[in-house]
Amino acid sequence: FRLPSTRGVALHFRARRQLSVVRFAVLVNMTFNLGIQGLLGFHEMLQALQQGDYAGAADAMVQSLWYQQTGERARTLVEQMRSNRWPALPRTTAL
């Protein structure tokens, strides 16, 4: 089972095989929000990813209007791109 966003990213992003699952998930998440054409508009981020420059990709994400408008979700995705780690789940209290 593949979601349309996953397939779209896989088809349009040439360097996908060099990305970890964690970083690929960032692109899929962004595609849910922006659509594949919106994601493809992140030229600097995609170029940095092609070069394996994950800090540069994260910096490009921060410099975007998307980052300013998306709030906590964007900050989480930037950290995920930078660190190559899944975000921590929020703690919940037991009932």
Instruction: Please state, in angstroms and rounded to a whole number, the distance separating the CA atoms of residues 31 and 39.
Output: 6
pLDDT at 25 over 80: yes
Give me the residue label for tokens 């690929």: 24
pLDDT at 47: 93
The string of pLDDT tens digits covering residues 32-88 is 899 888 999 999 999 999 999 999 999 999 999 999 999 999 999 999 999 999 998
Asked if CATH classification 1.10.530.40 holds for the domain at 21-82, the reply, yes or no, is yes
pLDDT at 88: 85
Yes or no: say if 51 and 39 are a contact pair by the CB < 8 Å rule. Answer: no
Instruction: Please state, in angstroms and rounded to a whole number, the distance separating the CA atoms of residues 77 and 79.
Output: 5
User: What's the pTM?
Assistant: 0.82
pLDDT at 36: 87
Which of 7, 69, 14, 11 minimizes the C-alpha distance to 46?
14
SS3 of residue 93 by DSSP:
coil
